[in-house]
Amino acid sequence: MPLRNQVIAKLARTAVLFATLSVCAVGHSGEEQMTRYGCYSCHRVAEKLIGPAFRDVAARYKSRQDAAEYLFQKVRAGGEGVWGDVPMIPNTVEKIPDEELRTLLAWIRSL
Ligand code: HEC
């Protein structure tokens, strides 16, 4: 193989490696944040606890246009009736800042 092709192949492998690593990093920090902000007292990624599994949430809102805004308001205000009779308590801005909540919701919707 000419040297130039070898260099390109090496660069491509490095790029794939970095992409993989950054996906892992985001997944990991999502779980850490969930613990830090208390979401994991009631939620898990793959199973229903007190609240729905985040994978089920992702599936339910996959094609809903205003999902980001809807979920933001819902998690802030709390509420019940979508997944059952158990209410989610409000998650105030003192508990989790806007920016962090939006990041977490994007992570949930990517599951
Ligand atoms: C006290 C337990 C509890 C905590 C703490 C909690 N949740 Fe929930 N969550 C619930 C319950 C119960 C529901 C189902 C509400 C319903 O049926 O409408 C829910 C629903 C949701 C939904 C789906 C909303 C919908 O209308 O489909 C999302 C997204 C969500 N929670 C995210 C979070 C995030 C992010 C946090 C942390 C900031 C959090 N929750 C903290 C109990 C909790």
Domains along the chain with CATH numbers: 3-109 (1.10.760.10)
Centre of ligand 1 from the C-alpha of residue 12, in Å: 41
| pLDDT tens per residue across span 91-104 | 999 999 999 999 99
27-50 burial, b for 16+ CB within 10 Å, e for fewer?
eeebeebbeebebeeebbbeeeee
pLDDT for position 94 = 96
Centre of ligand 1 from the C-alpha of residue 94, in Å: 17
Residue 37 CA to residue 104 CA, distance in Å, equals 10
12 close to ligand 1 (CB < 6 Angstrom):
no
pLDDT above 80 for 90: yes
| pLDDT tens per residue across span 41-52 | 999 999 999 999
Centre of ligand 1 from the C-alpha of residue 80, in Å: 9
The number of the ligand 1 atom at minimal distance from the alpha carbon of 34 is 37
* pTM for this predicted structure: 0.81
79 close to ligand 1 (CB < 6 Angstrom):
yes
